[in-house]
């Protein structure tokens, strides 16, 4: 069992690190070619659309992980009924993003950018729904392939489009094109991977699934918006230039936290089983996981704190040097990000899961209030401290709830 967890963590960590490395190189490439203000538009558009990915998922991936890891014989039944539901949710997510952009008074050009980049939601949703079934069977290598292949294609297409001096709207299209190729691979290989495709509109099943998954969705939507709320509010309150600066620093944090997220995902099927079978063993796994994540976080955080000026200067250039103190502050939050990923495994497998939702909302509101208070006064420095404050609040809230669950 330990060997399987280690292998899955290795697969996911390798794929996430490889994809993030490619994405980061691409990010730096765009930052240098686009300039700070245009790079700010790029950052804002990505952050805005990424907030709607969990709307397209609506907790279904976690539902699949939980149910199929316990009853793998139900793959065919679930998959045929979840495909049409996932497509409908993707439509809602796509048009929801456009409507929110209009409601917030974004320019027609910005709405156009949102529409172009948002197309990637459709192939992405299909691919990762199939991946969730494979993850539930602890076959993480397929998701690893999807992560690396998708990012590699986006990287290649993006570099070509930029060097050809094509407009920003075409650069945004790389997400849709890259993910579509990966989706086609999954579509043609699904049968041989033990994923029989089907299309059954089962209203009773849909109603039951949504009634079970809405809590996962609520938590995931909050978590995704929470992660990017500081960047979005910098864009809304301070404009494109400061969004470009803040986004350049925040990208380091966003890239690195996928390492602990990979461990948490690899442990999720085991946590689901142990919660029912052996809660004492689950306590030990949780404690060890927290310790490992804390130790893993320290070298990353210290490196970024000590070398923030050098790192920003070497990666982005002198025009981004104002982001160096932001990176140093955000590095403190990195330690908290690491240890805060694991409580979700316990909470989401607990019958008390829905009772946690108000506390998750409180954590989000604390971060939102900190952002609204600090960003107008201290600009991007204030945004960074708001993230630290939100993560510290999350550390307290999450673990108080987890230990309450594990004591029962």
For the chain, give the percent of residues with pLDDT over 70.
91
- Identify the pLDDT of residue 304: 93
> 242-261 pLDDT, tens per residue?
999 999 999 889 878 877 77
- Lowest-pLDDT range of 41-55, 105-119, 275-289: 275-289
- Identify the pLDDT of residue 235: 92
What gap in Å lies between CA 234 and CA 238, rounded to an integer?
A: 5
> 193-243 pLDDT, tens per residue?
888 888 888 888 888 888 888 887 888 888 888 988 999 999 999 999 999
> 319-359 pLDDT, tens per residue?
999 999 999 999 999 999 898 887 776 777 677 778 888 99
Yes or no: say if 242 and 323 are a contact pair by the CB < 8 Å rule: no
Dihedral of CA atoms 221, 226, 231, 235 in degrees, nearest 10, equals 60
User: Concatenated DSSP letters for 168-191?
Assistant: HHHHHTHHHHHHHHHHHHHHHHTT
- Identify the pLDDT of residue 274: 64
What gap in Å lies between CA 245 and CA 286, rounded to an integer?
A: 37
What gap in Å lies between CA 129 and CA 33, rounded to an integer?
A: 35
Short-list 263, 218, 223, CA closest to 63:
218
CA separation, residue 259 to residues 20, 61, 333 (Å):
10, 19, 15
Yes or no: say if 142 and 71 are a contact pair by the CB < 8 Å rule: no
> 141-179 pLDDT, tens per residue?
777 788 888 899 999 999 999 999 999 999 999 999 999
User: Taking the alpha carbons of 29, 232, 366, 223 in that order, is the dihedral positive or negative?
Assistant: negative
Residues of the domain holding 48: 2-407
- Identify the pLDDT of residue 398: 86
User: Concatenated DSSP letters for 295-309?
Assistant: HHHHHHHHHHHHTHH
Three-class SS of residue 342? coil
Number of domains in the chain: 1
Yes or no: say if 267 and 293 are a contact pair by the CB < 8 Å rule: no
Q: Which helix (H) or strand (E) holds 351?
A: none
Which DSSP letter does residue 196 get?
-
């Amino acid at each position: 069992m330990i060997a399987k967890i280690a292998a899955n963590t290795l697969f996911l960590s390798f794929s996430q690190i490889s994809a993030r490395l490619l994405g980061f190189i691409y990010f730096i490439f765009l930052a240098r070619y686009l300039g700070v203000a245009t790079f700010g538009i790029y950052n804002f558009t990505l952050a805005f659309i990424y907030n709607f990915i969990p709307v397209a998922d609506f907790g279904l991936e976690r539902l699949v992980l939980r149910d199929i890891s316990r009853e793998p014989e139900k793959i065919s039944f679930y998959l045929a009924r979840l495909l049409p539901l996932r497509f409908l949710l993707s439509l809602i997510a796509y048009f929801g993003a456009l409507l929110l952009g209009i409601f917030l008074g974004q320019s027609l050009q910005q709405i156009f950018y949102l529409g172009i980049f948002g197309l990637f939601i459709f192939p992405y949703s299909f691919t990762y729904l199939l991946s969730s079934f494979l993850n539930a069977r602890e076959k993480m290598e397929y998701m690893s392939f999807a992560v690396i292949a998708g990012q590699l294609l986006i990287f290649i297409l993006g570099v070509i489009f930029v060097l050809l001096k094509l407009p920003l709207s075409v650069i945004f299209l790389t997400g849709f094109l890259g993910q579509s190729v990966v989706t086609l691979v999954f579509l043609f290989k699904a049968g041989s991977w033990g994923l029989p495709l089907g299309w059954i509109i089962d209203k009773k099943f849909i109603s039951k699934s949504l009634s079970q998954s809405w809590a996962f969705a609520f938590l995931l939507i909050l978590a995704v918006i929470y992660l990017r709320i500081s960047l979005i509010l910098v864009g809304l309150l301070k404009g494109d230039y400061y969004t470009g600066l803040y986004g350049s620093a925040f990208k380091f944090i966003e890239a690195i936290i996928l390492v602990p997220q990979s461990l948490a995902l690899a442990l999720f099927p085991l946590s689901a089983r142990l919660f029912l079978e052996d809660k004492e063993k689950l306590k030990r796994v949780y404690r060890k996981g927290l310790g490992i994540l804390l130790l893993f976080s320290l070298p990353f955080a210290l490196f970024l704190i000590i070398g923030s000026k050098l790192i920003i200067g070497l990666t982005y250039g002198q025009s981004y040097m104002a982001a160096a103190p932001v990176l140093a502050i955000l590095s403190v939050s990195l330690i908290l990000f690491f240890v805060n990923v694991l409580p979700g495994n316990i909470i989401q497998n607990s019958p008390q899961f829905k009772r946690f939702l108000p506390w998750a909302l409180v954590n989000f509101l604390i971060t939102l209030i900190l952002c609204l208070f600090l960003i107008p006064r201290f600009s991007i420095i204030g945004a960074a401290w708001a993230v630290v404050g939100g993560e510290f609040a999350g550390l307290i809230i999450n673990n108080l709830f987890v230990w309450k669950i594990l004591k029962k």
